[in-house]
Chain A
């Protein structure tokens, strides 16, 4: 997943040299300082960016256009990284880039920066703005900001079917004439032909003449003054659209101020500063003052209000509202799910239901799969001649990989539930309900989604923390995600709980999950009080309407996640199983050694004995220690390692092959206390390599090093305390 993303990023960053040459042909009438250019040569694919507010349906359009099956979410900010697809229309190659959803181009959060920098730096030939037709007034706000950039824009009036059902009639011709761009109605992937035609038309300069939006005489005049001052440095104005920069400067946008001084919006060098910096800053100061006097409020608010005024005028002239069925099913559901009294119990019930479903329902197919793998091991055991090959197949491969594959069913169920919640729009409600609580622990209502996704897999969970605005909140959230018991830890819990807490395995598993949540909160609280001090950050988010998730969308998502789990079982875990089989088998013990003596003689035995002093305070003997430590590669490996370490020893048993849980119970000498400590240790130990890579990508090396050291120390300390405490309480037996 990450590889794909970074690959697409790499590709996107190689292309920009090509863009200025073919700078939008249609932009020539806009006094943006861009050089007019000939129609783009047909040799180079058109670079088209998909922009739009969160929940406008960008990803659906992206999928419909490219045939890709990306995850569509119903939560602000599901597309946290831009994605790229290719298609061709009427013999024209198009590179389509799906940008994260943003309300505005003010670079308020990390995903807004991604979207804004793409349009500014990569200079796409055209931007398709995807708008929700049921709420044009809000969505056109971004459209105007795209027009300010002087880039050709085509508007996709998405969800036009829902708008019609609500009695909203949009005259797209009229709206287009008012704002100077083509609008095309789309809905659920329909209308793509017309949209593509409009894209080609606009990119080849055959569309309506683009013009800069007008914000009333006073603001237009101030912006024009400033634009002229910026355009006085032609080299600078060729890099940065002057009108856009003028408006952003009036808005007191810090990134724009940095750009003027020659710094990149996100920090670092971008190019020379404006040649007449002082002159521009003088005019800017005077213009802001005049605006604030004229309108009687801060300039940044004025620009925003004038934009909305312009939107309001255009919408009023082009749309009619028949009937007023305003409050719908969404409102009825929210009356319960977001109610001050019942919202929290409903939320807890939903969470409980998910876990109940995962474990109770998942237990049956898991048992069947376990039986299947035991049967296969028995079959292979009797078919293969005694020797190393048999040992490799039975103990190494079937024992290791089979142990992990048995846990696919509960993981599929968990992903199904999480996808359903995410697509339905419930996650934003949960953020509303949990904000006050999370806020107390130094987290944020918007930390909720990353934390819950952490029950599935830490990698997307860590990435989804980008929707958080302040870096303090983002750091706190990312650092808390590994405490959530991800799908890979689940097999470890299920195995150990099944073996050592046979009366009530679900309670033991819930206990570990609960401990994870409690640790995430406590740890965040400690970080908030120590190294992550800072101001409380605002909580302002849009509440998306409920949408019935589509089966196709959910299955695509679950298929992708399950596929990646299976791939992991076929690659990393297979390799790890074989490796662990090898180090537990070689060097071969002298003839006549018992299996235990042979194991102790092997490389793993010797290494395990060497580190035993470190792990014996936790109640782990060297075998358990080896299994626990291999979890650094991926958590499921703990299960496969146990499978290899506690071998089937087919020859000795009369009753046929025993399941891994049984072998653990009978052969490992673990007590329930040690098993529970092992579960806690696996919960808290540093996450797998993929998750560590995600932390590095989001927060950098320093935080990665901190988190790894912190979790390593905490997992040992916690395991030590619980084990010693348990012994004192007499739970050691």
Chain B
């Protein structure tokens, strides 16, 4: 496992493992409710250009989150397939 990075830094197609949520109560809780829990694997399906939201495949579905929320999720990068 490498140094944790922010989910927002991952390229499209990048696989990750959730390390921890850095965001404050309500948003952090919401992300946890949507399946961003420690150890869960996911993939950045696609990113919108220049600052738009990300589509993240996690927990058997797709979740759309804004880049600012993705900055609050610390992940470990997984090499290869996820």
Which A residues contact B (CB, under 8 angstroms)?
Answer: 103-104, 106, 108, 134-135, 137-138, 141, 251-252, 297-298, 300-301, 304-305, 308-309, 334, 338-341, 343, 428, 431-433, 435-436, 439, 445, 536, 538-543, 545
Contacts and interface: CB of A to CB of B under 8 A. Distances in A.
B63 A305 contact: no
Contacts of A341: 49
Contact of B66 (A104, A309, A433, A435): A435
A106 B27 CA distance: 11
B58 to A, nearest CB: 9
Given A252-B25, A339-B46, A141 B62 contact: no
A386 B76 CA distance: 86
Interface in B51-71: 51-53, 55, 59-66, 68-69
A106 B29 contact: yes
Nearest to B62: A543
Interface string B24-50: 011111111111011010000111111
Given A338-B46, A340-B46, A341-B49, A543 B29 contact: no
B59 A137 contact: yes
Interface residues of B, number: 36
Contact of B64 (A305, A439, A539): A539
B7 interface: no
Contact of A542 (B26, B40, B48, B62): B62
Given A106-B33, A301-B32, A338-B55, 8 more contacts: A106-B30, A141-B33, A305-B32, A340-B52, A431-B64, A436-B50, A538-B68, A542-B64
B49 A432 contact: no
Contacts of A340: 46-49, 52
A308 B37 contact: yes
A664 B13 CA distance: 60
B21 interface: yes
22 contacts: A104-B30, A106-B29, A106-B33, A134-B60, A137-B35, A141-B33, A251-B29, A297-B38, A301-B28, A301-B29, A304-B32, A305-B32, A308-B35, A309-B37, A334-B46, A433-B48, A435-B52, A436-B53, A538-B27, A539-B65, A540-B69, A542-B64
A540 B34 contact: yes
A301 B25 CA distance: 9
Contacts of B28: 298, 300-301
A445 B59 contact: no
The interface centre, meaning the residue of B30, B50, B68 with most chain A CB atoms within 10 A of its CB, is B30
Given A103-B34, A104-B33, A428-B64, A301 B53 contact: no
A138 B35 contact: yes
B13 to A, nearest CB: 12
Contacts of B38: 297, 305
Contacts of A343: 48
Contacts of B46: 334, 338-340
A364 to B, nearest CB: 40
Contact of A436 (B37, B40, B48): B48
A539 B68 CA distance: 9
A224 B38 CA distance: 25
B29 to A, nearest CB: 5
Contacts of A338: 46, 55
B61 A542 contact: yes
B52 A541 contact: no
Nearest to A331: B45
B69 A539 contact: yes
Contacts of B37: 301, 304-305, 308-309
B78 to A, nearest CB: 17
A541 B63 contact: yes
A542 B61 CA distance: 8
Contacts of B32: 300-301, 304-305
Contacts of B50: 436
**Which 8 A-B pairs rank lowest in CB-CB distance, beginning with the nearest?**
A304-B32, A543-B62, A436-B52, A539-B66, A135-B60, A104-B33, A305-B37, A340-B49
Contact of A540 (B25, B52, B59, B65): B65
A536 B33 contact: no
A340 B64 CA distance: 14
A135 B37 CA distance: 16
A538 B33 CA distance: 14
A538 B60 contact: no
Contact of A538 (B30, B45, B52, B62): B30
